[in-house]
Structure 1
Amino acid sequence: MGQPVAFFEVISTDQERVQKIYADLFDWQVTPDPAMGGYALVDTGAGGAAIIGGIGPSIALGDTGVKIYMRVDDLDGYLERAEALGGKKVVPPTDLPGDHSRYAIFADPDGNLVGLWA
């Protein structure tokens, strides 16, 4: 069985505007967290099996856009495999706040950013 999409993320230079657009457009519950710089977790209201997401501020040049995060059981192994297949590590394995595990981001050969979440 393949690795599932586990999380989506929308990053913007004006996260409050984008948070409102997605909340109003799709009737999502978007809850900004001041402790995380206004990053908002998203409840799509689609039930327990739905993919969860976040909408947050840009923190680096070129990081805006939409990313998907794949659930993996070996973050380092998948990141190494992505690099062996032509990808480039963008964010090394990094601890998430709280009890949300770890993530990493790579760029595929066309520059698309893809997250790994373990």
Structure 2
Amino acid sequence: MSQHFVFHDVRTTDLDASRRFYTELFGWGVTETPAGPMLGEGDAVWGGFTPLPEGDSRPPQWIPYVPVDDVDAAAERAVGLGGRIVKPRVDLPPGSVVVVAEPGGATLALWQAAAGHGRALN
């Protein structure tokens, strides 16, 4: 398994305000993509924005993505170590993701890149 994050997703109830906050505070660039605004510029995106629908019980938060070789095996191992599945596997064009919570409740995304996409999300 990897020892570093390859992507970060901010889940927010106010996408416009969050976008303005991070771009003005840190000068981070934003690239418009079919999947929505991404942090970073051009091919060097490293994060994204996920709007939380009204009434969603999940708190706004940052979710780091950790690359794994087999997302299903990693999710099973996480559960075996006392974690839980927060969001089951989703398959996207660049790869597959499962969001898990560790025993203390912090969440992270397990990321398996699709063939030809390397280990990064973009």
Contact 1:94 1:103 in 2 (8 A): yes
Q: Which runs of 5+ in 1 are unaligned?
A: none
Segments ≥4 residues shifted beyond 6 Å: none
- 2:37 corresponds to 1:40: yes
In 2: Cα distance, 1:2 partner to 1:12 partner: 27
In 2: Cα distance, 1:73 partner to 1:63 partner: 29
Q: Which runs of 5+ in 2 are unaligned?
A: 113-122
In 1: Cα distance, 2:96 partner to 2:11 partner: 19
Q: Secondary structure at the match of 1:62?
A: coil
In 1: Cα distance, 2:30 partner to 2:111 partner: 21
2:116 is aligned to none
Alpha-carbon shift at residue 3 of structure 1 (Å): 3.5
Aligned CA-pair RMSD: 2.3
2:66 is aligned to 70
Q: Secondary structure at the match of 1:5?
A: coil
Q: What TM-score do the two structures reach when normalised by structure 2?
A: 0.78
In 1: Cα distance, 2:5 partner to 2:79 partner: 19
Q: Single out whichever of 80-89 and 105-114 deviates more from structure 2.
A: 105-114
Q: Secondary structure at the match of 1:116?
A: strand
Q: What TM-score do the two structures reach when normalised by structure 1?
A: 0.81
